[in-house]
Amino acid sequence: MSIALYRTYRPAQLSEVIGQDHVVNALSRAIENDRIHHAYLFTGPRGCGKTSTARILARSLNCEKGPTINPCGVCNSCIALAPNGIGNLDVEEIDAASHNGIDDVRDIREKIAFLPAESRFRFLILDEAHQLSRQAIDGLLKMVEEPPAHLKFIFATTEPDKMPSTLRSRTHQFNFRLVPTKAISAHLAEVCKQEQIKFEPSAILLLAEAAAGSVRDGLSLLGQAIAGSGDNGLTADEVASVLGLTPKRLVNAAIDALVANSGNQLFQVIDQVIDAGFEPRRFATDFLQRVRDLLLIEVASDAAKPLIALPEEEISNMAAQAKQIGAARLSRAADLLTSGITQLRGATAPRLQLELLAARLLLAASSEGISGLEHRISILEKNGVNTNSSSQPAPTETKASPPPKISTVKSSAKTETKRVTIPVAAKRYEAKPVTEPDSGLPLADLAKLKALWPAILEELKLDSRASWSTFFESEVVDVADGFIVISIPDLRVLEFATGSDQEARLRRAINEVTKTDGKIKLIAIEHSSNRQQLVSMVDEPKLDDEVIEEVDTMKLLESQLGAKPIMDKDV
């Protein structure tokens, strides 16, 4: 009967421990300098080498030619403590999960009180030490604090926070880390060569990723894959099947559907996933992994290659897909998949949840924002709809009625403020055309002011946060007659700010940034879906409640439903 690979290829000396150089180097120097402590605490995830390192340390210190970092391997102690050795009476490994009572500790204390039978030191290795009861730890505490010269303690745990500080303070603690995927992959490939097993590099990468930083888990999975392999050795498809992963062809098909934004293709992939018996959550996880790889390729380019555990030729093909989808859509897809995977855990209708997730992925491109608008325009262009404004028929030139006179209030005076009214008799919401500004200064000055406006607001923020909160949504709309015209989106804010100390602070901020001594004029401006309407400070009667309600209703219809007012033609 064959022995498990993780036992066969267990490290026999410190130099063979994988991915824990910081621990190996520290222990090696301690052995060489004869500064071995009496108690150690090894912490870290499962399968990363804690217990193996403890056995190696006992082997190195008890070697007849030692203490040495390179045990001879031929003396009785080295043979007994070899990876597949029978063990040594002086090195006792105890599972603290099943020996955590005070009675067990009493037995341990009786045993360790005796001198070593045939070795230099007596070792007590306690695995899963965090499961020791409080009484058991109290029973060991005095022995750990003042042990006899021949006794060494090694505590191994995956949960160091559960270890009492009184015990941790008496030990030298070494934190073991998860082993990198590349190191595990290289180790698994070397094991395959020694076992004379043919393999595909992509298959080894899949096993290394599934190991998730644990060398022991990687060797266990490798043994499982070898046991079920055929004459062709380890292939990526067979390993994916053993691990329960989604086949690459389905993941690639899902990415192609995302590139084309095709619901037909994506839902066909989901149907194939369900029919083949794959777990929906596993498919979503594999899909998320591929989206992550694409996002790294798109954002980091060549620097992402070391971060992706895939063959070089496959990464080259993925670069084209990443460019077509874009970083914004990939990031959004990753967010949706992450939340979708959480919803799929324990779902009563996993297929429905997966289909809803697919629908969200397809609709993400049409979400709000510049990227969504650009994507919708590209879809319209693909469907034959030309969005170029030059191809549209030129609108017939009509005479526009002159806009109502807009009078503004200078910054030095306060007057009663009222909205621009629409004649009550008309009972109609008409768009007021905005004429080109008759700027008294060159247009470049207006553009320069708009470019400097964020800096002006920052200067205002440094002077007064209250003033900044009043004007942070404002913008420069004109430069006319020596005045800088500044729009505020809310008429109530305009009434509050006009002539106040906050207006003076804004003027000082403008002058500080532009190095000029300009005057400012405040107006209110309201935005609608297809135009801008200026609402300024005028001396006209107020709208009655009926007209205000009608105007607000028209604004709501235009902003929320995209309605356009139809004006009655003059008879």
Phi, psi of 483 (to 5 degrees): -105, 145
* Tokens 């007012």 -> residue: 565
CATH 3.40.605.10 fits 181-243, yes or no: no
Amino acid found at 123: F
Q: Span 298-316, mean pLDDT?
A: 76
Phi-psi region of 346 (alpha: psi -120 to 50; beta: other; left: phi over 0): left
Q: Where are the domains of the chain?
A: 5-175, 181-243, 248-381, 443-561
Q: Span 81-101, mean pLDDT?
A: 83
452-509 pLDDT per residue, tens = 888 888 888 888 877 887 887 888 888 877 788 888 877 777 777 777 788 888 888 8
Task: Give me the chain's average pLDDT, please.
Answer: 77
335-391 pLDDT per residue, tens = 999 988 988 887 788 889 899 988 888 886 555 444 455 555 555 555 554 444 444
Phi-psi region of 244 (alpha: psi -120 to 50; beta: other; left: phi over 0): left
Phi, psi of 428 (to 5 degrees): -140, 140
> Picking from 226-230, 296-300, 399-403, which range would have the lowest pLDDT averaged per residue?
399-403
Rounded Cα gap, residues 177 and 531, in angstroms: 60
What per-residue confidence (pLDDT) applies to 50?
Answer: 92
What per-residue confidence (pLDDT) applies to 24?
Answer: 93
Tell me the CATH number for domain 443-561.
3.30.300.180
What per-residue confidence (pLDDT) applies to 557?
Answer: 57
Architecture of the domain spanning 5-175: 3-Layer(aba) Sandwich (3.40)
Contacts for 56 with CB less than 8 Å, ≥ 6 apart: 11, 12, 13, 14, 17, 71
Indicate if the pLDDT at residue 222 is higher than 70. Answer: yes
Q: Are strands 519-527 and 532-535 parallel, antiparallel or unpaired?
A: antiparallel
Coil/strand/helix, residue 42: strand
DSSP symbol at 543: P
Task: Please determine whether the domains at 5-175 and 181-243 fall in the same fold group of CATH.
Answer: no
Q: Regarding predicted confidence, which is higher, 186 or 528?
A: 186
Q: Span 537-556, mean pLDDT?
A: 49
Amino acid found at 554: M
- Confidence class for position 84, pLDDT limits 50, 70, 90: confident
229-257 pLDDT per residue, tens = 878 888 888 888 888 888 888 888 999 98
Structural fold of domain 248-381: Zinc Finger, Delta Prime; domain 3 (1.20.272)
Rounded Cα gap, residues 168 and 170, in angstroms: 5
Rounded Cα gap, residues 85 and 132, in angstroms: 27
